[in-house]
A = this chain, B = another copy of it.
Amino acid sequence: MYRAPVDEIAFTLKHVCGLSDLQKSARHAELGDDLVDAILTEAGRFAAEEIAPLNAVADKHGTPLADGKVSTPPGWREAYHAWIEGGWNSLTADPESGGQGLPVMMSAAALEMWNSGSMAFAIGPTLTIGAIEAMEKHASEELKAKYLEKLVSGEWMGTMNLTEPQAGSDLNALKAKAERRDDGTYRIFGQKIFITYGDHDLTDNIVHMVLARLPDAPAGTKGISLFLVPKFLVNDDGSLGERNDVKVAGVEHKMGIHGSPTCTMVYGDEGGAIGWLVGEENRGLACMFTMMNNARLAVGIQGLGVAERAYQHALAYALERKQGRAPGETGEGMSPIARHPDIKRMLLGMKARTQVARAICYACAHAIDMSKIAEDDAGKTFWNERASLLTPIAKALPTDFGVEVASLGIQIHGGMGFIEETGAAQHLRDARIAPIYEGTNGIQSIDLVMRKLPLSGGEHIKGFIAELQTVADEVAASNRPEFGAAADRLSASIRDLEDATSFMLSAQADGRVGDALAGATPYLRLAGLTLGGALLAKGALASTGEPAQRLSERTLLARSFCETTMGETAGLKSDILLSAEAIQAFDAEALAS
């Protein structure tokens, strides 16, 4: 069972991540606290009551392909239609296209809960929303008129088609072809793999966004264009026309998210799939990045959603399961395992990681929203840079945490955790993809180090670190013994982050690119853990107005994260500073057999 943590989510939005900054803006003037609470409550109800019960069923059933059609698990279609009827597909879309124009923070919060309900279910609409964003920014008015409203309402769904067998992390190698036709359309040819919701029976039509190369395109990523390729052609009156030349050639057998069909798509096997250009020729990658940046945050939220569910699952078991006697307990009978210190460590570790993931994802959403409402250039630059800085962290750390939390959840269940019927294993199997897709976490780390640290000549990251220090100072100034060693540990981690950042900036300044790349993964974790500790502390500082129990819970959570997990930063820093030479010296091709 899953209970939507609406209070915790609302607190994080309002008191940790700055929702009120948006509420004060003209753009979001209608977003009062009552509306926020109503949206969260209803999204949570839907997640818990309508989506969550489908999760295990879908895991068993999968998405079989028969007669060229993919079918979704039992209950999926009904749930999807109830979901779009609730208006959930259109939360952030532009009011001009029929959307509700809500901030990304609100959709992030709702998405968390749907992912807790079922990651395999929630991922489908995520891709539609990406397609909507790409079209809103880059598509012609004609295309928008024909497709956008139905994508926004959810009557049709969208997909993203990037990957090919030889082109995964490296889109330079993309081979799919596009040919110009006299009528302004294009014909698309090629195979795309790993296409999430590439085919399904939830909607009558599917709108594929496909990257392909024109015959005269420059080599590399500067020669890639984006095309809209509908499953069924659309007549001028909006009705469905002929079937387009796009087929699903296979559905993958995956470790997890069995309810999400991962398809191999073949375009143009019978003369060419008809496609329409989105944006300009050869500028497809820029359009795709519009989708990808938000998709990266959305994947981070998958990690968060699964972590929350796995935590609740393990907590319930730990409260019910009795074994042994906890220290200090006397008398007859066994203790719930939740009273054993080693289990407490695991539960706290799960809860803290989940809350860190939540706060980082919402902070990233906040930056995206702020960049949209910023009134001057300086503000726009600042928030664009902040969103750019936080996106790789918000993709990678929460997805790594999703795996760690799900794995701890299995451990708490003991032998039962390994039995599929228990459901704990599914969380790990589902969560394991999130560090891989939408740019592996290694790619995110490289993006952070190579593209984001140099923003504003390195000044943006320095300002960011100074903000973290302010939180540590506030913790110290609060003089609350309940914080334990939190202020000291937080300051120590911030110093680790400063040292590592200096190393990275000088490595790049000196042209030692390999040294920076070798330490990128520990750098992202170091930055993420430090930010996470600061955000937990901020939550504890902000909860002084709340009931005493909440204050003490949040303080304990922040304290224990600072005293346990965040201690990793010392090792991460020394790793970054010391290990680059040895790592680069490793020559796998020359290994003695």
Residues of A at under 8 Å CB distance from B? 163, 166, 168-170, 172-173, 193-194, 252-256, 315, 318-319, 322-324, 327-328, 334, 336, 338-348, 403, 407, 410-411, 414-415, 417-421, 425, 428-429, 432-433, 435-437, 440-442, 445-446, 484-485, 489, 513-514, 517-518, 520-522, 547, 549-550, 553, 556, 559-560, 563-564, 566-572, 574-575, 578-586, 588-592
Residue in chain B with minimal CB distance to A517? B341
Do A340 and B517 form a contact, CB below 8 Å, given A169-B324, A411-B441? Answer: yes
- Chain B residue nearest to A514 in the complex (CB): B327
B410–A432 touching, CB < 8 Å: yes
| A252-B419, A425-B255 given; A578·B485 CB < 8 A | yes
Measured between beta carbons, the chain B residues less than 8 angstroms from A560 are 579, 582-583, 586
- Contact between chains at B582 and A328 (CB < 8 Å): no
Question: Cβ of A574 and Cβ of B563 under 8 Å apart?
Answer: yes
Interchain CB contact under 8 A, B517 and A342 = yes
Return chain B residues, CB-CB under 8 Å to A252. 418-419
Please give the distance in Å from A126's CB to the nearest CB on chain B.
17
A420 engages B254 (CB within 8 Å): yes
Closest to A567 in B: B571
User: Which residues on B sit within 8 Å (CB–CB) of A253?
Assistant: 419-421
A415 touches which one: B163, B489, B559 (CB < 8 A)? B163
Q: Is the CB of B432 within 8 A of A345?
A: no
Q: Given the complex, which residues of B lie within 8 Å of A564, measured CB to CB?
A: 522, 575, 579, 583
In the complex, the answer to whether B414 meets A403 with C-beta atoms within 8 Å is no
Give 8 A-B pairs besides A255-B418, A489-B574, A570-B574 with Cβ atoms closer than 8 angstroms: A173-B323, A255-B420, A339-B588, A341-B514, A341-B584, A403-B407, A522-B564, A560-B586
Q: How far is the CA of A441 from the CA of B411 in the complex (A)?
A: 9
Chain B residues near A446 (CB-CB < 8 A): 342
**Closest chain B residue to A566 by CB distance?**
B571
Identify the interface centre among A254, A315, A432, A586: most chain B CB within 10 Å of its CB: A586
Q: Which 10 A-B pairs have the closest CB atoms?
A: A567-B571, A255-B425, A563-B579, A338-B588, A341-B518, A570-B570, A341-B517, A560-B582, A170-B323, A342-B442
Among residues of B, the one whose C-beta sits closest to the C-beta of A417 is: B436
Is the Cβ of A437 less than 8 Å from the Cβ of B420? no
A592 proximity list for chain B (CB < 8 A): 547, 549-550, 553
A553: contacting residue among B345, B484, B556, B591, CB under 8 A: B591
Contact with A514, one of B193, B328, B566, B579 (Cβ below 8 angstroms): B328
The reply to whether A575 and B567 contact each other, CB–CB distance below 8 Å, is yes
- In Å, the complex CA distance between A579 and B564 comes to 6
Contact status A173-B334, CB under 8 Å: yes
* Known contacts A341-B583, A417-B436, A484-B582; is-contact A513 B549 (Cβ 8 Å): no
A563: min CB distance to chain B, Å: 4
Most buried by B among A254, A342, A566, A568: A342
- In the bound complex, how far is the Cα of B420 from the Cα of A112, in angstroms? 27
Bound: A125/B484 CA distance, A: 50
A187 vs B570: C-alpha distance when bound (angstroms)? 59
Q: How far is the CA of A322 from the CA of B169 in the complex (A)?
A: 10
Closest to A571 in B: B567
Query: Known: A559-B582, A571-B568. Is A518-B588 also a contact (CB below 8 A)?
Result: no
B-chain residues with CB within 8 Å of residue A582 when the two chains form the complex: 348, 484, 556, 559-560, 563
**For the complex, what is the distance from the CA of A459 to the CA of B418, rounded to whole Å?**
39
